[in-house]
């Protein structure tokens, strides 16, 4: 042990006086003598001498060479050059070069020993952007989705349409589109089967997770949308989920914005909640339902004979949906979807009217009624409007719809717009009737909405947007971007570095002249114009006979035979009079003999 310590101390003294590059050999020799690794030998030497063989830590270590405003400017330039599709953005190297040329950033440091300016490399800038949470990859992360809740079943339904896995229904059954035939380059092939395509409508109950499926054919239209909604609301022997929901969430498609859809929902007291375009995850539950239907039901259709009608498709999927809701446990509730939906109370379950009534409501329009002394006349009855929030004025016209759910309670629904521009339904009781239950304010779902806290990416993204648009607020930046304002107020020239670059002109090169001779060009001489002469066309025997039959009553086969014999090559139209006289002279004796 003592010998080992002596060897280490001797090596340590030698290490302190060793020239540059010789310390490694001393450590390797000590490692061989002690039978340890080189790293262990370094640690033994350091424990004796306290000499650190590693490079000294810089005094500015840990400090960012790229200032925050520089990082923001680089990221803002990259995002400003990006296409709407998310592609085509400028590279980091180009962004740094352009901004340096325009004097916006320095992106470098000054050597304190020599005074030399050292620009940061692209890799260093990339690392510095991550330290400031401004790297394009950090900004591209999705914003956390807001969590939504429903107090009970039938509070909110989600509905969505998607093309079925079977794609289209031909004369001999369902077919799957072949990628070699149906692709973007052949739109006519899609148009040929447009009316045969199979669409799947999935409807889910937000509270229980229950799902219903309804297949239609053709396209995503308001008629198909209403057919799926009416099917789900109607009480069925092979289903569990039914009734009228309080809220209905859907995509902003034409089927939802159609007048028939809004009229039906208005009459039933359903408030439509339409998510923003491109934000499909706002109704992620029904999007997941499509996946469950595809994998659980439609995948098995390949194991049986092709389905030959939409009725057969719906007849097959209804038992599957009933079995799925009754047997699959939902991870959120810990219950099957059917058991969770069955927790609905009598006050929460509103039965839908009969199917004929629903169809009539879908096709009816609201009626405008004039207010007189706080009352309106609708279908021969008077209704009181004194309890409508905000009040009404004499002579004001309000829109009224027939109350399909509460038709026997003597009320009508008055359509009004709240402060946010959303359509609200208020019950107006019949004059002389007692108290009635009014619709609750739809503000309940709005007061319980809690937006998720902004992440660092959200904050930086908004800051970059304001910087790029030279705006003070997010709204101002959004308005300027919508108005196609130039980023940075148009102060940045993306080609400034090109114009100011000192490029040495290329020296001319020696060569020889081309020996190719151009051909002579002769001016064309105009040829004398020929005098056009009209030549009457020659008519065939058949054409001549058609003309002569009208001129000579009693035309017979003998006339035709004489015509063909006398004029074997046909004749022109101006010879018809001559032919008529000659035929009359030739056939006159024969006609008298016959007579």
Q: Token pair for residue 576?
A: 């018809």
Average pLDDT, the chain: 75
pLDDT bucket at 557, cuts 50 / 70 / 90: confident
Question: Dihedral (C-alpha) 308, 312, 316, 322: value to the nearest 10 degrees?
Answer: 160
pLDDT bucket at 245, cuts 50 / 70 / 90: very high
Which tens digit of pLDDT belongs to each residue from 272-323?
888 765 555 556 788 888 888 888 887 777 777 777 778 888 888 888 999 9
- Structural domain including 42 reads 2-49
> Which of 191, 210, 394, 393 has its CA nearest to residue 292?
210
pLDDT(556) > 70:
yes
Q: Answer for the pair 206, 148: CB distance below 8 angstroms, yes or no.
A: yes
Residues 330 and 384 in one domain: no
Q: Answer for the pair 460, 134: CB distance below 8 angstroms, yes or no.
A: yes
> Which of 139-143, 236-240, 380-384 is least confident?
139-143
Which residue, chain included where needed, has tokens 């093309």? 163
Following DSSP, what letter does each residue of 407-469 receive, concatenated?
GGGTEEEEEEE-TTS-EEEEEEEBTT----PPPPPTHHHHHT--PPPPPHHHHHHHHHHHHHH
Q: Token pair for residue 96?
A: 């740094």
> Which of 229, 59, 93, 68 has its CA nearest to residue 160?
229
Q: Answer for the pair 202, 230: CB distance below 8 angstroms, yes or no.
A: no
pLDDT at residue 66 in the model: 83
Residues 581 and 546 in one domain: yes
Arithmetic mean of pLDDT, 481-509: 81
**Residues contacting residue 57 through CB under 8 Å, at least 6 positions apart:** none
Residues 177 and 193 in one domain: yes
Between CA 200 and CA 217 the distance in angstroms is 9
Residues 438 and 456 in one domain: no
Residues 327 and 468 in one domain: no
pLDDT bucket at 526, cuts 50 / 70 / 90: low
Residues 274 and 323 in one domain: yes
Residues 125 and 92 in one domain: yes
Q: Is residue 10 part of a domain?
A: yes
To the nearest whole percent, how much of the chain has pLDDT over 90? Answer: 6
Residues 194 and 249 in one domain: yes
pLDDT(176) > 70:
no
Give the best-scoring range by mean pLDDT among 161-165, 230-234, 571-575. Answer: 230-234
Q: How many structural domains is the chain composed of? A: 5
Q: Is residue 116 part of a domain?
A: yes
Q: Token pair for residue 287?
A: 């999007």
Higher pLDDT, 207 or 456: 207
Q: Is residue 33 part of a domain?
A: yes
Residues 221 and 266 in one domain: yes
pLDDT at residue 282 in the model: 58
Q: Is residue 360 part of a domain?
A: no
pLDDT at residue 156 in the model: 92
DSSP conformation class of 536: P
pLDDT at residue 279 in the model: 54
Helix axis angle for 68-80 and 92-101, nearest 10°, is 110
pLDDT at residue 345 in the model: 92
Q: Is residue 83 part of a domain?
A: yes
Domain CATH code at residue 245: 3.30.420.10
> Which of 306, 327, 350, 347 has its CA nearest to residue 211?
327
pLDDT(435) > 60:
no
> Which of 141-150, 203-212, 435-444 is least confident?
435-444
Q: Answer for the pair 251, 364: CB distance below 8 angstroms, yes or no.
A: no
Residues 114 and 194 in one domain: no
Q: Answer for the pair 49, 14: CB distance below 8 angstroms, yes or no.
A: no
> Which of 50-64, 81-95, 389-403 is least confident?
50-64
pLDDT(482) > 60:
yes
**Residues contacting residue 463 through CB under 8 Å, at least 6 positions apart:** 72
Q: Which residues pair with 170 in a beta bridge?
A: 173
Which tens digit of pLDDT belongs to each residue from 194-204?
546 778 899 99
**Residue ranges with strand state E in 220-379:** 247-250, 271-274, 367-370, 375-378
**Residues contacting residue 450 through CB under 8 Å, at least 6 positions apart:** 146, 147
Name the 3-class secondary structure at 400: strand
- Domain final position from 306, 341, 376: 341
Q: Is residue 351 part of a domain?
A: no
Higher pLDDT, 565 or 390: 565
Following DSSP, what letter does each residue of 365-378 receive, concatenated?
--EEEE-BTTEEEE
> Which of 246, 234, 162, 236 has its CA nearest to residue 202?
162
Give the best-scoring range by mean pLDDT among 53-62, 127-136, 186-195. Answer: 127-136
> Which of 65, 66, 63, 93 has its CA nearest to residue 77?
93
Residues 172 and 265 in one domain: yes
Q: Is residue 527 part of a domain?
A: no
Higher pLDDT, 404 or 149: 149
Q: Answer for the pair 251, 160: CB distance below 8 angstroms, yes or no.
A: yes
Arithmetic mean of pLDDT, 259-277: 79
Between CA 270 and CA 155 the distance in angstroms is 10
Positive or negative torsion for Cα 582, 585, 590, 594: positive
Residues 228 and 337 in one domain: yes
- Domain final position from 427, 447, 467: 447
Q: Answer for the pair 292, 323: CB distance below 8 angstroms, yes or no.
A: no
Q: Answer for the pair 261, 223: CB distance below 8 angstroms, yes or no.
A: no
Name the 3-class secondary structure at 184: coil
Q: Is residue 34 part of a domain?
A: yes
Task: Output the CA–CA distances (angstroms, integers) from residue 472 to 87, 458, 463, 467, 481, in the order listed.
Answer: 27, 16, 9, 8, 13
pLDDT at residue 528 in the model: 63
Between CA 280 and CA 224 the distance in angstroms is 20
């Amino acid at each position: 042990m003592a010998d080992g310590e002596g060897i280490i101390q001797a090596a340590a003294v030698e290490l302190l006086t060793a020239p540059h590059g010789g310390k490694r050999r001393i450590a390797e020799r000590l490692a061989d003598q002690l039978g340890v690794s080189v790293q262990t030998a370094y640690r033994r030497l350091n424990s004796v001498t306290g000499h650190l063989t590693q490079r000294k830590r810089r005094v500015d270590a840990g400090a960012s060479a790229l200032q925050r405003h520089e990082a923001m400017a680089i990221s803002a330039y990259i995002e400003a050059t990006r296409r709407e599709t998310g592609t085509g953005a400028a590279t980091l190297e180009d962004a740094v070069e352009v901004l340096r040329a325009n004097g916006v950033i320095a992106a470098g440091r000054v050597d304190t020993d020599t005074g030399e300016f050292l620009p940061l490399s692209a890799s260093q800038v990339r690392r510095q952007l991550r330290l400031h949470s401004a790297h394009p990859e950090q900004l591209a992360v999705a914003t956390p989705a807001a969590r939504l809740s429903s107090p009970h079943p039938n509070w909110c339904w989600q509905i969505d349409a998607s093309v079925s896995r079977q794609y289209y229904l031909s004369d001999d059954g369902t077919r799957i589109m072949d990628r070699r035939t149906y692709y973007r380059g052949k739109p006519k092939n899609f148009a040929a089967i447009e009316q045969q395509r199979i669409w799947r409508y999935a409807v889910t109950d937000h509270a229980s997770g229950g799902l219903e499926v309804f297949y239609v054919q053709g396209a995503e239209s308001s008629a198909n949308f209403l057919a799926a909604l009416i099917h789900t609301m109607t009480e069925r022997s092979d289903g569990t989920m039914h009734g009228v929901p309080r809220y209905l969430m859907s995509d902003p498609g034409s089927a939802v914005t159609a007048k028939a859809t809004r009229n039906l929902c208005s009459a039933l007291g359903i408030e439509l909640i339409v998510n923003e375009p491109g934000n499909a995850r706002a109704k992620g539950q029904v999007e997941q339902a499509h996946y469950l239907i595809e994998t659980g039901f439609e995948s098995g259709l390949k194991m049986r004979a092709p389905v030959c009608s939409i009725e057969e498709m719906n007849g097959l999927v209804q038992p599957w949906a009933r079995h799925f809701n009754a047997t699959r446990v939902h991870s959120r509730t810990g219950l099957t979807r059917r058991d969770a939906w069955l927790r609905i109370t009598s006050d929460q379950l509103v039965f839908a009217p009969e199917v004929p009534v629903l169809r009539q409501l879908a096709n009816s329009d609201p009626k405008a009624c004039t207010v007189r002394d706080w009352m309106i006349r609708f279908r021969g009855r008077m209704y009181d409007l004194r309890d409508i929030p905000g009040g009404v004025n004499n002579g004001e016209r309000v829109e009224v719809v027939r109350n399909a759910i509460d038709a026997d309670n003597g009320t009508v629904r008055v359509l009004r717009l709240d402060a946010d521009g959303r359509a609200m339904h208020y019950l107006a009781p019949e004059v002389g009737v007692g108290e009635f239950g009014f619709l609750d304010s739809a503000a309940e779902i709005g007061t319980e909405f809690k937006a998720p806290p902004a992440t660092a990416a959200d904050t930086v993204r908004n800051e970059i947007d304001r910087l790029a648009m030279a705006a003070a607020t997010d709204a101002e930046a959004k308005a300027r971007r919508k108005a196609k304002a130039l980023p940075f107020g148009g102060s940045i020239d993306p080609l400034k570095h090109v114009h100011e670059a000192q490029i040495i002109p290329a020296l001319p090169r020696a060569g020889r002249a081309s020996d190719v001779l151009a051909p002579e060009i002769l001016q064309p001489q105009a040829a004398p114009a020929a005098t056009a002469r009209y030549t009457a066309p020659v008519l065939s025997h058949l054409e001549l006979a058609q003309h002569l039959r009208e001129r000579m009553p009693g035309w017979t086969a003998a006339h035709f035979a004489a015509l063909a014999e006398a004029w074997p090559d046909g004749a022109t139209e101006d010879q018809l009079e001559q032919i008529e006289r000659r035929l009359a002279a030739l056939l006159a004796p024969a006609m008298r003999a016959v007579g």
